[in-house]
Structure 1
Amino acid sequence: VRTWLDGSRKNLGLEIYCENCYNNDIFVIHDSSPFFAGYDETPVLNVVGKLVQREKRSKAGVQRYRPTMRDYMTPPKTATCTPNNKRCCRHPLLVDFRDIEGFEFIIQPKIFDAGFCRGRCPYKYNPGSHHALIQSLL
């Protein structure tokens, strides 16, 4: 992060892709929008969305709660990630910014689930290095 911030004039910035965000009333505010008028060049990521209620759904007499807005990055809770599972599986990797020196500028979230993939995954899910990731995209 520090390298990216120090060389912000040289790098190409940060691209955010959110599939189906507009249909779910989630918007990414760009620094060219009127919202940022008068702010300095402090890097900030703002994601604006609306709170959604969960709807009750019953199937065979069992009441379940179904989220009205789906999170495409998080696997369903029914996914089983066991040591014997050879399929691609996302495992949690909790990063606590309070424990990492040099990240005091991060206000929220205090803890972030960076996650990692294990198993027979597409190469771009778990590259050996940043260079390998870029090569896989070319």
Structure 2
Amino acid sequence: MPKQRECDYCGADIEPGTGTMLVRVNGNTVDFCSSKCEKNADLGREAREQNWTAAGRESDRQTTVSAEREAEEEEAAEADADAEADSEAAPDLEAVEDEADADAEDEADADADAEDESSEDDDQAEEAEA
């Protein structure tokens, strides 16, 4: 039974009796399934840069997976930054209003205390004159 080979460029199976075998001067053999693979190899093109080759599909898959992972990380980072910005940018309005009311009451109490002291001083001055 003839041996089934694999294309050294694209990774496809080569049926017995088809394809091209290139024997180099140093004795290495390179099997091509089609003239398309042979011509691309002659032109010096890398198989991982061609989307129609097994190496190219694997390269695209890795690029896609890493791009998706980076996009997810960026979205998570943006969500964290947005959450921090939201918590710092807009304080609770009810809390701010309560603080303003408390400050106003403190000022009113201080004014009332000052008026009480001045009226006591006036009363003491009138008693001293009498």
Same fold (TM over 0.5): no
More strand by share: 1
TM-score by length of 1: 0.21
- Highest CA radius of gyration, 1 or 2? 2
More helix by share: 2
